Structure 1
């Protein structure tokens, strides 16, 4: 038996972050994990912002799941496997560039998974994800 997950596809635009925050809020409320809502909302906002800023995708899939009883996974799936997330350093004067740094602080762990494979075309997309540890 698998663990529950919520996922929906939306336009790849910065405004989708608000929808993502609502999805996270509802999922965590259904699972009685309200204490994770604030960091999870920040994480989904940053993941959406990264996809909207750094990929040419028209749509993204938002995913909120429970890979185990003690973990919550927040993810964004896009069709830009060649644009991999890289944890960098932010210039103190820069307006952006801190999204993955924030996720790195908030999440128990984070990363990306390439999706699909074809002998000539390679993967069709990637899932950038972050996990929070739930009290268990």
Structure 2
């Protein structure tokens, strides 16, 4: 299993910590992502956000696996501000943008972004690299930190 103390690079984002690491773009990475998110939130004493944040990272990984041709993805957990936690997946498929669409009762898939939209405070994507020739994108979702985090 991934451990923040030994395997994850720490950085900073607006004065707040961030954790990220690159993994294979495959379904088993969702479990690693849940552990990464859970560990980071535990370090920040935000255990109340573990359930929604692990659901979000699972869905973001599943979307990358299903909708991109990428061999690897970068999982990111950060605190862009003191009142927000951001969970994201970076891939090298800037033309495969997420689209929130309706899912019917008979659909066996296609509900990932609907779940994220329902659970997250907000979500979106950012293109990575030059505006003219982006090399990838980050699909992210944010959760609001209640009280002092």
Higher strand share: 2
Q: Which runs of structure 1 show a deviation greater than 6 angstroms over 4 or more consecutive aligned residues?
A: none
**How far apart are the structure 2 equivalents of 1:51 and 1:41?**
15
**1:52 equivalent in structure 2:** 65
Q: How does 1:86-105 map to 2 (within 5 A)?
A: 86-105=99-118
Partner residue in 2 for 1:135: 146
Q: Which runs of 5+ in 2 are unaligned?
A: 1-13
Deviation at 1:135, TM superposition (A): 1.1
Match of residue 15 from structure 1: 28
TM value normalised by structure 2? 0.88
Equivalent residues, number: 134
Q: Alpha-carbon deviations, 1:105-127, whole Å to 9, x = none? A: 000000000000165xx100000
- Give the Cα separation in 1 of the matches to 2:36 and 2:145: 17
CA displacement at 1:46 relative to structure 2: 0.0
Equivalent residue number for residue 85 of structure 2: 72
* 2:53 aligned to which of 18, 31, 40: 40
Alignment match of 2:126 (pick from 113, 121, 134): 113
1:67-86 deviation digits (Å, cap 9, x = unpaired) = 00000000000000000000
Distance 2:98 2:15 in 1: 28
Separation in 1, partners of 2:36, 2:104 = 32
Q: CA RMSD in A?
A: 0.9
